[in-house]
Every structure is written in C-alpha cells, then in structure tokens.
Structure 1
Amino acid sequence: MKNTVTNLSDLGAFYREQIEAPGFDAAFGEQNGMGQLSVHDEPMATEMPDPDAARGAMEMIIGTVFDLLRGTRMEEFGRDIAWGIVNSFHVTSQRIEKREDEAGKKLGDMARAFDPSEIYAVELEETQRICQTLMDCREAMEAMRDYAGEIFRVETGRPFSTARGSRASSGLTASQIDARDFLAARASKRREQFAPTGPVVIFSGGTDWYDHELLWKALDETHARVPHMVLATTAQNKGCDQIAHAWAASRDVKTVRFTLNRALGKRAGFHRNEQLMNLKPVHAVVCEGSGIQANLLSRVQEAGVPHHAFAQRHQRTAA
C-alpha cells in the first residue's frame, strides 16, 4: 500500500477489499451461556467480543502503525513494529492453547475414572466449562491474529511468519507449520492442523532472486495439477522461499518450513534435503542457489520426481 488514507474508515474499507475472512465472525461464537477460565474463577455470563469491533480494532492497531510511518524516514521500521503486534496475538493464542490442552487432559482423565458422586459431577461440569471457554477464547484470538496477519501481508507483500514454531491457522489464512511440529505430529497422530494431509510439493532456492512471476507461474501450474498440495520449503525469509511463502498465503496452501539444524554444522543443509526427500514429494520446484540446491535437484532427478528447475539466467531482466 503506497498512499496515506485520510481517515480510519477509509483504511478499514481498503483492507476489507483486500482480505477475505469468511470464518471470522464464527470464531467469536459462544458455545455456552456461562464462561469460566480457571477453577479460581466463578462462572460468568460474559459475552465474547463483537466480531465487527474486533475486525475494526485490528485494522486500527496494525493499519495505523503503517499509515503513521508511511512516507517518513521511519517507514522501514513500520514492518517490525507491526510484526511484533501480530506476533503478540500469536504468543497469547499459544498460551491459551496450552491451558486448553491441560483442561482437556484433565477432562479425559475424569471421563475414564467415572465416579457417581455429586462432587465428581460438579467438578466434571466445571472442567468441561473451562475447557470450552478456553477453546472459544483461543479461536477468537487466532482469528484476530490471522486477520492482523493479513493486514501485515497487504501492507508488506509478505505473509506473517512466526519467529519460531508453527502458526496453525484458524481457517482465515494458510497455516505455516514448523517442520519439527509436522514430523512429530505425523509420528504421534496429533491433530490435523499440525499434520496436514495431502501430497507434498517441496520447494528450495537461493536468497538472491527477484523474478516472483516466474515462480508464481510454476507454483500455480503445480497447484492446478496437485490441488490439495502441502508446500514444504527451506524456510528462508528472503529470495525464493519468501516468494513461495507469499504465493502460499495468497492461494491458501499450507506450508511446512524446514529450518536448518545448526548443530549439524556443514551437514545441516544436506540433512534438510534428506528430510524433504523422505516426505516422498510428488513434485519439486528447485531454483539455483548454492550447492545445497544443486544437491536437492540431483536427489529429485535420481528419484524421478516431476519438477521445475530454474537457473538464475531464467529470470526476466529486472526493471
């Protein structure tokens, strides 16, 4: 976004033209008439925030940061500030999820150890109410995070990515899942949001790359052939991977980010290539970068995996 808007109403209208959020309102639904967040709280008939007000708050909080600094010598720092705000919603949603998981575990333990006493019945009802309330709060927090993240994308051209760990989407945007969570989920059959099912397309390329249209075209062609694909990338924050992450966000394609295991030293990149190939990819997109990409392309070719391969010379001349 290049131009400064004259008022917050115009800012909100601009964002809503750019962002699709069909599930936003539903995330603020109330499953129970009474809410309770812990055993130390009394049940209360408080309501969830109004979704229109929540949407407007995200537009004001994130959008105002960009609009304030746009066209000034501080414009460069707007992205960092906005990222921190969006990430605070992410961190808070993770904390809520942890409490929800603890309440869910307690509820499961109680269900397996049935007791006909009235005390048991009261505690069971309370635990279920706490678990449900935390779930409602988490879903709303994730919805606000995702909407704020979409504003970040509109302003910067880049999808919001967490510094570490996964961002499993509430349904408004594509999930970005850390490889460690992905592999652990596959091994332990955890919830689908951390182990997305579907054919895997792997992607890797160098950081010195500017022709995004070339890569978007290749990814669109792949997506047309593999509509339920999961995109596994090498998790770099600039160049080819950044272009791929932006494409995935725009197409609502789940991504799994394979970061380097620095403890492996010089072997880290090659080990990551092994991890990618162990996913049994149905397609690969590999762009010229370093010897790591050359090694991955060689593995892809040896395995007979259909692929797009691009050299630096394939890029259009930069304007």
Structure 2
Amino acid sequence: MSAHDDHEPHHVSSPTEHLIQELQLHGYRPSEDERDQRPPPEDRLIEGAIADIFDALVATITDTSLNADLPDLLWSTVNMFHRAVDRIEQKLDDNEQTQKQLQREQDGSEVKSLELERRIDIGMNLIGRRDGMEAFREAAADRYRIATGSPWSPRAGSRVNHRHLTASLIDSRDFLAARRRSDTEVLVPVGPKIAFSGGDTADHRQIWAKLDQIHAKHPDMVLLHGGSPKGAEKIASLWADSRKV
C-alpha cells in the first residue's frame, strides 16, 4: 500500500459550485444585462455620504502643505461622479440604438420579442443608475460650492440634471412637440406624394379613374398639383375634395 493512497486528489470546482459560493459570500447581484430591482440610495443617504467625504478632505488638508491642492481635489471629487454619468449616458445611447434595431427586426417571434423586452429592462436600469449618479454629483457640487465659494462646472461638455424633469415639465414638452408635429403635418402632410399635371385636358372621367386607381394603391396619398383654376388641375382638385385626399 502506498503512503499516498489516503490522499484526496485536488478537485477543480465546477461552474455551479463557484456560483453557489458567490451567492453564499455576496448574495445575488444582478449583472448589467439584467433588470436590477433593488432601490437606489435615498437622497438623504447620498447627501450624508458626500458630506462625510468633503468634510474628511477639508479637515485633513486645510492648514497643511497640501492646502493649495484642496480645490483641485474637491473639483475632481465632483468630476468623478460627472464622468460616471457620462459613461452611463453612452451606454444608454447604445441601448437606444439596439432597441431601434430590434424594433425594425420584430417578426412576431417570441425570441425577438423577449430580446426587445430585455433591452428595455436594461435601458430602465441604466436610467436609474444615471439618475443616481446625478444625485451624487449634484450633492457633491453643492459641497464644492460651500467649501470653495465657487460653483462647480465641468471643464468640457455640459451638466444636465434629468431629475429636474418633473412630470409636468415632461408633459409640457410632449405637448409642445406634438403641437409642432401637427403644425408641420398641416403644411407637409404625411403619406406618399403624388404629383399631378395634366395641362388643359378636360376629360374628367379619365382623370378621376386614374386618380381612383392610384388612390386604391396609396390610400394615404397626398396629391400635389399647381392649383390652376381650370383644366386638369382643377378637375384633380375637385377629385381630391370629393375623396377627402
């Protein structure tokens, strides 16, 4: 009998075992490709955490040889959250393009439908993350102003706070956008544009028959004509009034 017969050989852990160990140690953590149902941090907790960070930096560095670097350090602290917002915005842009592509590819299959739903969930998760990081940035910007006496601003790009978009403001913007669309559609109606020109032809039966044929093929057609008070264009105009085109 060998002296090593009672030695247990090394077993490589399986993916399932690794997953179970991760769950035991850290609990369930949704990936970026999953909808995260956990709530974001409360505003009061965010403000408290940011206050602690700034208070620690100011108390540690003030009246030391690093005092001249304090404004830059405080600015960079705010910028850290600002850059996080930018990164999430880029992911949101990619998600939007993916959703548009999936919308075009919808063929009624469950696979395509589920993939679109998954991308929508990811987009909603990204919006929540962006709003949370904006809350951190705004709280940090307030602390920066208190500590330095100057407002914080990024050195490049813009600073937008989506949480300031209240429901009333969104409804108002939607209303104005819809009004602009309706005003535009009056001048440039939607639908295929059919240009008509018939000179002085007065055969109204032939003109109406041809226009009816085109209308049957394009029910949402828009008739374009010169508006002449006589001849073929007048006949076409009367046809359009009759057919509600």
Give the alignment of 1:211-250 within 5 angstroms: none
Q: Are residues 1:157 and 2:149 paired?
A: yes
Identity of aligned residues (%): 28
| More moved, 138-147 vs 108-117 | 108-117
Q: TM-score, normalised by structure 1?
A: 0.40
Q: Are residues 1:70 and 2:79 paired?
A: no
Q: Measured at CA, do residues 48 and 169 of structure 1 come closer, stay the same or move farther in structure 2, by a change above 3 Å?
A: closer
2:32 aligned residue? 38
| Equivalent position SS for 1:54 | helix
What is the alpha-carbon distance in structure 1 between the residues aligned to residue 150 and residue 161 of structure 2? 16
Q: TM-score, normalised by structure 2?
A: 0.51
Letter paired with 1:121: S
1:308 aligned residue? none
* Rg larger in structure: 2
C-alpha deviation, 1:108, in angstroms? 2.1
C-alpha deviation, 1:43, in angstroms? 4.2
Query: CA offsets, 1:124-173, max 9 Å, x none?
Result: 1100000010011001101111110111011111111222222223456x
* Alpha carbons 2:88, 2:130 under 8 Å: kept: yes
Letter paired with 1:107: Q
2:41 aligned residue? 49
Letter paired with 1:65: L
| Equivalent position SS for 1:106 | helix
Q: Measured at CA, do residues 61 and 139 of structure 1 come closer, stay the same or move farther in structure 2, by a change above 3 Å?
A: same
| Equivalent position SS for 1:151 | helix
What is the alpha-carbon distance in structure 1 between the residues aligned to residue 51 and residue 136 of structure 2? 10
2:125 aligned residue? 133
What is the alpha-carbon distance in structure 2 between the residues aligned to residue 163 and residue 48 of structure 1? 28
> For structure 2, which runs of at least 5 residues remain unmatched after alignment?
1-28, 165-172, 174-245
* Alpha carbons 2:46, 2:139 under 8 Å: kept: no
- The size of the alignment, in residue pairs, is 137
2:184 aligned residue? none
Q: Identify the match of residue 91 of structure 1 among 69, 78, 83.
A: 83
Letter paired with 1:100: L
* Alpha carbons 2:43, 2:135 under 8 Å: kept: no
What is the alpha-carbon distance in structure 2 between the residues aligned to residue 160 and residue 43 of structure 1? 33
Q: Measured at CA, do residues 44 and 156 of structure 1 come closer, stay the same or move farther in structure 2, by a change above 3 Å?
A: closer
Task: Give the number of the structure whose residues are more often helix, by fraction.
Answer: 2
Query: What's the RMSD between the two structures over aligned residues?
Result: 2.3
| Equivalent position SS for 1:144 | helix
* Alpha carbons 2:89, 2:130 under 8 Å: kept: yes
Task: Give the number of the structure whose residues are more often strand, by fraction.
Answer: 1
2:110 aligned residue? 118
Q: Measured at CA, do residues 51 and 171 of structure 1 come closer, stay the same or move farther in structure 2, by a change above 3 Å?
A: closer
What is the alpha-carbon distance in structure 1 between the residues aligned to residue 42 and residue 30 of structure 2? 19
1:143 aligned residue? 135
1:166 aligned residue? 158
| Equivalent position SS for 2:123 | helix
C-alpha deviation, 1:44, in angstroms? 4.4
What is the alpha-carbon distance in structure 2 between the residues aligned to residue 157 and residue 37 of structure 1? 40
Q: Measured at CA, do residues 53 and 62 of structure 1 come closer, stay the same or move farther in structure 2, by a change above 3 Å?
A: same
What is the alpha-carbon distance in structure 1 between the residues aligned to residue 55 and residue 107 of structure 2? 53
Return the structure number with greater relative CO, CA threshold 8 A, min gap 6. 2
Letter paired with 2:32: S
What is the alpha-carbon distance in structure 1 between the residues aligned to residue 102 and residue 163 of structure 2? 31
> For structure 1, which runs of at least 5 residues remain unmatched after alignment?
1-34, 173-191, 193-319
* Alpha carbons 1:153, 1:160 under 8 Å: kept: yes
What is the alpha-carbon distance in structure 1 between the residues aligned to residue 47 and residue 36 of structure 2? 25
Q: Measured at CA, do residues 37 and 104 of structure 1 come closer, stay the same or move farther in structure 2, by a change above 3 Å?
A: farther
